[in-house]
Amino acid sequence: MDLHLEVSTAGGRRRGLEEALRQAVRDGRLPRGARLPSTRALAAELGLSRGTVSAAYDQLVAEGYLTARPGSATEVAGVTRTAPPLPEPSGPSPAPPHDLRPGHPDVSAFPARAWLRATRHVLATAPAEVFGPCDPRGRIELRAALAGYLGRTRGVITTPDLIVVTTGFVQALNLLARVIDGPFAMEEPGHDFYREVMRRAGRGTVPLPVDELGAQVDTLTPATAAAVVTPAHQYPIGVPLHPSRRRALREWGGPVVEDDYDGEFRYDRQPVGAFQGTAPEQVVYVGTTSESLSPALRLAWMAVPPSLIGPVTEAKRYADAHTEVLGQLVLARMIETHDYERHIRAARLRYRRRRELLLARLGPGPDQPLPGVVLPGVAAGLRALLLLPETGPTEAELLAACERRGIALRGASPLWRGAGREGLLIGYAAPSERAYPHALEALAQVLAGTSRTRRSLSR
């Protein structure tokens, strides 16, 4: 092992080595149980005699800093540190007993075998140059695979030269905020986190109202720099953008950012094609693996119009040089072998069953646990929006009751910029197949119990 020590020889070499080792133990740089180099190796590294190092080790063993056993390496015994302890890193919160958070896929269904096969193939066949610097747009292998896949499955019209690989939709927004000057219109209700991303990027946002036909694009003006929309499946209302609104959005003519966050997951018919396919010179199409595979991969892509590809590529270069390469090559291999599409098809069937179970348990009917709840939207996506009636338990009451029961989901009201509708946004993808029915039943019991308590109090 390498060991960095600053040895002062002012009072003698042995004494300087002893003090350097003591200080390293006190500071915690050498923690309890750490193995020290052999006396021969440390002597050669520091330019000291082996006898000097052996004498220093013996002295520190006698003082209790080190332990030594015949035939074993010398180890740190551990002492009370004089330096203040470092703060504990804040890791992710423990998984809740019933995980119904929106935006989380079933990570227990991650295609580990297919990913491993692709990884082995990449490591066995990739030339050495893939481990060097990368094009800011990403590896050509992934960009070529994506151009074919997106054209075939989502109707996207693009080429490998016009695709930029990013670490997620958030980075895509940040890159566009750097190259498009002016306020961005964002759907209302819509993803509150993305509004905050734009604010922190120094871009103002204006509301783009949403109704049962999708975004009301007739509210866009020439002063709006760009519009961020979810045409295939609006977040969180769940409706697709109406054809007349799509035509109006093209006629508006400004840059459009298409968030196709779960475009592959339509259950009652073929998925609605990407809006980008009707206006490739106008639309920045953004997709990601966060919901199709795993949010831990940090792999997403932008299909950029020719007029923006230069500025976006330059912004990406100065943002992080390029996205991690090995994951790009593995995903490209999975797309080429169709393992990615097989995974999507299996996930689509699984999530469809889960949505049907949710509707059967919580949807309209005589046995629903909370009368008056509305579940708008088309059969698509990985979440359902439950809008609460004006009379009955409040959003805050329901969230508190869910927390006490160990159910994780989120309230809907923050998705409106101002005073919005109260409700619950329920993700039905995160739990495992075995855990999902139990999580859904726990939620139904909370809703029914809160409703009964509210009615008894009102009497």
Judged against a pLDDT cut of 90, whether residue 83 lies above it is answered with: no
Task: Give the model's pLDDT for residue 455.
Answer: 44
**Higher local confidence (pLDDT), 5 or 64:** 64
At the topology level, CATH places domain 110-342 in Aspartate Aminotransferase; domain 2 (3.40.640)
Q: pLDDT tens digit string along 262-299?
A: 889 999 888 889 999 999 999 999 999 999 999 999 99
Residue 375: which pLDDT band, with cuts at 50, 70 and 90?
A: confident
| CATH architecture observed for domain 13-76 | Orthogonal Bundle (1.10)
Whole-structure pTM value: 0.85
DSSP string, 380-394: BSSEEEEEPPSSS--
The set of long-range contacts for 242-248, using a CB threshold of 8 Å and a minimum separation of 24, is 242/213, 242/214, 244/213, 245/213, 245/214, 245/215, 245/216, 245/217, 246/275, 246/278, 248/217, 248/218
CATH class of 349-458: alpha beta
Task: Give the model's pLDDT for residue 362.
Answer: 86
Give me the percent of the chain exceeding a pLDDT of 90. 75
Give the residue-averaged pLDDT of 355-379: 80
From the list 426, 379, 419, 417, the residue with the least C-alpha distance to 187 is 417
Residue 292: C-alpha distances to residues 103, 141, 149, 263 (Å): 10, 20, 14, 10
Phi then psi for 414, rounded to 5 degrees?
-65, -15
Q: pLDDT tens digit string along 227-254?
A: 999 999 999 999 999 999 999 999 999 9
Task: Give the model's pLDDT for residue 5.
Answer: 83
d(CA 264, CA 272): 9
Where is mean pLDDT largest: 3-7, 79-83, 301-305?
301-305
Task: Give the start-to-end residue ranges of the domains of the chain.
Answer: 13-76, 110-342, 349-458
Judged against a pLDDT cut of 60, whether residue 190 lies above it is answered with: yes
| Pick from 71-80, 124-133, 422-431: least confident | 71-80
Task: Give the model's pLDDT for residue 418.
Answer: 78
Q: pLDDT tens digit string along 9-45?
A: 888 999 999 999 999 898 888 898 899 999 999 989 8
Judged against a pLDDT cut of 80, whether residue 367 lies above it is answered with: no
**Higher local confidence (pLDDT), 103 or 450:** 103
CA dihedral (450, 454, 457, 459) positive or negative: negative
